[in-house]
Amino acid sequence: MNLSDIKATLSFSNGSPEVALPVYKGSIGPDVIDIRKLYAQTGMFTYDPGFLSTASCESAITYIDGDKGELLYRGYPIEQLAQKCDFLDTCYLLLKGDLPSGNQREAFHKLVINHTMVNEQMQFFLRGFRRDAHPMAVLTGLVGALSAFYHDSTDVHNAEHRDIAAIRLIAKMPTLVAMAYKYGVGQPFMYPQNDLSYAGNFLRMMFGTPCEDYVVSPVLEKAMDRIFILHADHEQNASTSTVRLCGSSGTNPFAAIAAGVACLWGPAHGGANEACLNMLEDIQRNGGVAKVGEFMEKVKDKNSGVKLMGFGHRVYKNYDPRAKLMQETCNEVLAEMGLENDPLFKLAKELERIALEDDYFVQRKLYPNVDFYSGIVQRAIGIPVKLFTGIFALARTVGWIAQLNEMIGDPEYKIGRPRQLYTGAPRRDVP
């Protein structure tokens, strides 16, 4: 961190002494006021529910400018990465800090692809779940259980262990997600095939069967890879903060990532694209495109209880840059599958048109976000709605690992311990 020449001064109306607080500058983005000594100097805490104005850490991984609609991984715009790199290149970038050279790229791709198999006993663990269990419930258990199968890489303070765990998690997540899907539909598990790409291998494990050879569609392979890139990291969101907080206790990387999976399950976070597709299907059942205007009027009525999913974002106050790329991918996938006239896509386009033209939505900057189109893409590929969040977890794993590694390597790292404003009963005696 770079100390700014500017200092902040906190004053009190009761005559208490003023407190000078240092200010630190980032490379881009807002500066931060250092309040670490505030309690020692004043006996007070700050109060910031949801951490909307609190920087919980120093990070060099991902930067978001919500007003500009800008997302950078290690300084590279997401648009360029999605168009010029594949997911494993992006993984290398997030983990190492720079894009790989030719030799580094080949070695890293080979390393990940050669570790996609999971211990054979994992399938017996999986069979303890009900067939109709939600895939995220299954995935939370499977990821946490990895520490029981790969206990030679569970020391989070050992850099070599963290590197091994990182490769294992990135490599095995597609296998676990595909296994959770196959188990739910009663089909045999498909082993990874090392001559396929990361995304192609995942598609084969999902939709291939032992009955016949599975031919990977280049269009769907590219779409899947792009979904992974767009979801790889997103700064200090709820699940990333959960991974950091969990990892700050010194727990093993597999447990910390399992905590991230559990947090991601929530409909306000990773489940948003599932909620968006469910909304589109509800509109379709209730009249389709002809009823979109009526639906949007209900959204504007605060008393209706109707919510518009897939629009707006906690940090983006402009068009989500990932949404533009996902819309492009959506067009490609629907054309490949012969679904250009898909009714849900028509619904989505009409919702977007109204939201971008109606003053109510424009004034509130409710632009489409990445979840708006990613659900349609995944549905067209054949991924069931219940598995959408599992795909998100697969993609976000590398971001979680990069953030966890960064935290552990920070000399100022401490176990997380938020404070509170207590409003309960004061001390009292038992009668």
Q: Sign (positive/negative) of CA torsion 23, 29, 30, 33?
A: negative
Closest CA to 156 of 240, 242, 245, 254: 254
Query: Is residue 371 flagged as an active site residue?
Result: yes
What is the CA 324 to chain-centroid distance, rounded? 17
Q: Which of 98, 371, 410, 429 is catalytic?
A: 371
Q: Rg of the chain over CA atoms, in angstroms?
A: 23
Separation between Cα atoms, residue 82 and residue 227, nearest integer Å: 9
Hey, is 104 helix, strand or coil? Answer: helix
| 109 Cβ contact list (under 8 Å, min separation 6) | 88, 198
Separation between Cα atoms, residue 345 and residue 113, nearest integer Å: 34
Q: At what angle do helices 159-185 and 135-149 cross, to 10 degrees?
A: 140
Query: Is residue 195 flagged as an active site residue?
Result: no
**Phi–psi pair at 356, nearest 5 degrees:** -85, -10
* Ramachandran area for residue 148 (φ above 0: left; ψ -120 to 50: alpha; else beta): alpha
Q: Which of 109, 115, 231, 313 is catalytic?
A: 313
Let me know: does 253 contact 398? Beta carbons within 8 Å.
no
Separation between Cα atoms, residue 318 and residue 69, nearest integer Å: 5
CA distances from 147 to 133, 137, 249, 300, 308 (A): 22, 17, 16, 48, 40
Strands of the sheet with 62-65, listed across from one edge: 62-65, 70-73, 76-77
Alpha helices in 98-197 (DSSP H): 102-113, 122-126, 135-149, 159-185
Hey, is 332 helix, strand or coil? Answer: helix
Q: At what angle do helices 135-149 and 253-264 cross, to 10 degrees?
A: 180
Amino acid symbol at 157: H
Helix (H) or strand (E) holding 70: strand 70-73
Closest CA to 275 of 112, 130, 127, 388: 388
Separation between Cα atoms, residue 422 and residue 140, nearest integer Å: 33
Residues belonging to the active site: 313, 371
